[in-house]
Amino acid sequence: MKAELAISVVISFIFISLGLLLIHYQQTEYGITFFVFLPFVIGYICGNDKIKKISLFGHFFSMLIFFTLIFIGGLEEMICIIMVLPIIAIVLFLGVFVKFLLSKLRHSTKL
């Protein structure tokens, strides 16, 4: 197993676990945590030039496990999961875009 894959899986599970803890202690809403915050942070982390495509596979694998668990646990139905996938993709790419813009801004100010 490549190190990038392992790191991306660990990061995803840490954020998923943090989201579950926040929901359990009623500190945040379910939808905001898992369908906006989590994809944005994962997109931001993956927006680095040094992150390889294998790490994106690791994040995808972690999200697949998460969706399987919320389906099996009865938190969501399959149609809800399918309908939220485009939202997650948009927010994920928004995180990548923000990271890209910040890195461009950082490089332009160093000149």
80 or 47, higher pLDDT: 80
pLDDT of residue 106: 81
Per residue in 64-73, pLDDT (tens digit) is 887 887 788 7
Domains in the chain: boundaries: 3-110
Q: How confident is the model at residue 103 (pLDDT cuts 50, 70, 90)?
A: confident
8 Å CB contact between 4 and 51: yes
Residues shown for the chain: 111
How does DSSP assign 19-72, residue by residue? HHHHHHTTSS-HHHIIIIIHHHHHHHHHTSTT--HHHHHHHHHHHHHHHHHHHH
> Is the pLDDT assigned to residue 4 strictly greater than 70?
no
How does the average pLDDT of the chain come out, rounded? Answer: 77
Helix (H, G, I), strand (E, B) or coil at 94: helix
Q: In the predicted model, what is the mean pLDDT of residues 31-43?
A: 77
> Is the pLDDT assigned to residue 86 strictly greater than 70?
yes
pLDDT of residue 71: 83
pLDDT of residue 1: 54
3-state helix, strand and coil shares in percent for the chain, rounded to the nearest 5: 85, 0, 15
